[in-house]
Amino acid sequence: MDIRFQNLGPEHWKAQVMLAPACQGEDILHQCPELDKAAPWLAVAPARRDFQGKNGELALFHGHPDLPVPRVLAVGLGPREKADAAVLRKAVAAAVQRCREQGFASILLPEPALARLPGGPERLVEESVCAALLALYRFTMLKKAEADEPVDPQWLALGFDGQSVPDGAHAAARRGERAAGAICLARDLANMPANLLPPEALARRAAELAKECGFTCTILESDALAEQGMGALLAVGQGSARPPCLVVLEHAPQGHEQEKPLIFVGKGLTFDTGGICLKPAANMQQMKCDMSGAAAVLAAIAALAREDAPRRVVGLLACAENMPGGRAMRPGDVVRAASGDSVEIVNTDAEGRLALCDALAYAQKQWTPAAVVDIATLTGACAVALGTEVAGLFCDDAALAERIVAAGGACGENYWQLPLWKPYAESLKSEVADICHMGPREGGAINAALFLQHFLQKGVRWAHLDIAGVDWNAKKTPLCPVGASGFGARTLLELARGGVQ
Ligand code: BES
Ligand code: MN
Ligand code: ZN
């Protein structure tokens, strides 16, 4: 769906349907006076009074089919004091889905109506555009088209009052479009089944995107991993016929080549069977999403390169497939990580931290990071603790943690900070190696985070995002069908757009 603009005020707007966002308990014509000009017939439509403006409510009104705006879709936002960006996102998404079901080819969203809501007009333009595009996301590339499948609207236009579209609003719409593009790319990558997207295919996809968007992509294959001493990442991949790799992405725009990069590290397990410590069969198919962290990193960097963001950003994708093959790592194995530490492996299903620890070491060896942010579907324990709507954040740098919570909160990706509880690091002591990769079941998300922290040098700003649980959407919502959610892509994008202070 194209995002377009119309100006010169409601008398000149034209589309098959106009959305009218409205709060509860207030007359829709008062809230959206543009309707008087764009759809004057609504004033005399008695059915108008059936619309109450409840959160989630949609009401479609029909005028004469030959009018420039023949229909109005009233979009309920609930009580005004609760109508924030999150409510608007969901409402716009539900409205756009309704338009698709109805077969409307063109939609008009009046900007003045957004400007009357709290939150800032440009922000709400950005959020509306992003939500409208997310609403249409489907993972259809492996399916024949169904005969009765609804067709996406061709365009959504933002309607403006003045002679021209303000630059700020124009830019905001483009930002929203770009954010939606990143999220949809992350969803596509994570929804792709593991047979069709093994580590080497994920790396190839990254290289293609690098060419398309203009960032660099280097792939470290098994030999290079061995050269770098990445025994942990190699161990994770060694039970699979498809070898592991580390994908190195860099966006270094002109004039920023020498700046300290912001480094994103993503867990890229294209499938996680658990290895020799095999997972139960129930829901194991969801483990095709165990590369959601890597997908978020790749999608964010592609978006940053596309908009030529004025910041140096590096992305590391630690890719492997955790399989129980004949060469698989075993419980009790000791491997040498890139940091030089020997690591005792207890449960082969705690593989993500092994893949990440080598990538974290590499990040600090190759660059002087402004900050390192890793993102991973790391622990079931995090999903148990926080559920499926809010992700875990581990960070001892208060300013960085605050930036991440703010960046995520603004775009509907919420984080809750959990402690890097130092005393628990005792439980990572090993009888036979420098460190053990896991502690007890209790505090599992914290123990995993503490293991990662072990590989960070003093003074390096670092945050760990545990997105297990939020990476998968089990029930369809206006903003996301069942499947991969793309969670994290936009947080990283906003983090880099805003810079880390
Ligand atoms: N990829 C899983 C974590 C996960 C679980 C992600 C559910 C998404 C949904 C991870 O590799 C894993 O298996 N972790 C183990 C660690 C344990 C063996 C210490 C877990 O959480 O059970
Ligand atoms: Mn696992
Ligand atoms: Zn995993």
Model pLDDT for residues 105-159, shown as the tens digit of each residue: 999 999 999 999 999 999 999 999 999 999 999 999 999 998 889 999 999 999 9
User: Domain of 423?
Assistant: 185-498
Return the percentage of the chain with pLDDT > 90, whole number. Answer: 97
Residues 128 and 193 in one domain: no
Question: Does some domain include residue 243?
Answer: yes
Tens digit of pLDDT for each residue in 153-194? 999 999 999 999 999 999 999 999 999 999 999 999 999 999
CA 217 to chain centre: 21
Number of structural domains the chain divides into: 2
Predicted confidence at residue 46, as pLDDT, reads 81
Residues 365 and 455 in one domain: yes
Tens digit of pLDDT for each residue in 305-326? 999 999 999 999 999 999 999 9
Cα 289 to middle of ligand 2, angstroms: 11
Residues 204 and 68 in one domain: no
Q: Is the pLDDT of residue 339 over 80?
A: yes
CA separation for the pair 19, 159 (Å, rounded): 10
- The DSSP element (H or E) to which 147 belongs, if any, is none
Tens digit of pLDDT for each residue in 439-456? 999 999 999 999 999 999
Nearest to residue 6, comparing CAs of 117, 114, 152, 110?
Answer: 110
Residues 415 and 491 in one domain: yes
Question: Does some domain include residue 172?
Answer: no
Residues 127 and 206 in one domain: no
Residues 232 and 152 in one domain: no
Q: Is the CB of 438 under 6 A from ligand 1?
A: yes
SS3 label, residue 271: strand
Tens digit of pLDDT for each residue in 6-42? 999 999 999 999 999 999 999 999 999 999 999 999 9
Residues 493 and 421 in one domain: yes
Q: Which domain-ending residue is among 160, 193, 224?
A: 160
Question: In whole angstroms, how far apart are CA 125 and each of 86, 161, 176, 189, 447?
Answer: 13, 14, 8, 27, 41
| Residues ≥6 apart with Cβ < 8 Å to 270 | 194, 197, 198, 199, 201, 202, 242, 288, 290, 291, 319, 320, 321
Q: Which domain-ending residue is among 126, 160, 194?
A: 160
Active site residue 353: yes
Q: Of 175, 312, 353, 497, which residue is the catalytic one?
A: 353
Tens digit of pLDDT for each residue in 399-443? 999 999 999 999 999 999 999 999 999 999 999 999 999 999 999
- The DSSP element (H or E) to which 463 belongs, if any, is strand 462-466
Question: Does some domain include residue 431?
Answer: yes
Q: Is the CB of 126 under 6 A from ligand 1?
A: no
Q: For the whole model, what pTM was predicted? A: 0.98
Q: Is the pLDDT of residue 55 over 90?
A: yes
Q: Where are the beta strands (DSSP E) in 281-404?
A: 313-322, 334-336, 342-344, 371-376, 390-394
Band of residue 499 on the pLDDT scale cut at 50, 70, 90: confident
Q: Is the CB of 444 under 6 A from ligand 1?
A: yes
Q: Is the CB of 348 under 6 A from ligand 1?
A: no
Tens digit of pLDDT for each residue in 248-260? 999 999 999 999 9
Residues 389 and 476 in one domain: yes
Q: Is the pLDDT of residue 45 over 90?
A: no
Q: 386: phi > 0 → left, psi -120 to 50 → alpha, else beta; which?
A: alpha
CATH for 37: 3.40.220.10
User: Is the torsion defined by CA of 91, 134, 246, 320 positive or negative?
Assistant: positive
Nearest to residue 269, comparing CAs of 303, 300, 225, 235?
Answer: 235
Residues 134 and 269 in one domain: no
Residues 200 and 328 in one domain: yes
Ligand nearest the Cα atom of residue 273: 2
Residues 211 and 81 in one domain: no
Residues 18 and 145 in one domain: yes
Tens digit of pLDDT for each residue in 225-275? 999 999 999 999 999 999 999 999 999 999 999 999 999 999 999 999 999
Question: Does some domain include residue 386?
Answer: yes
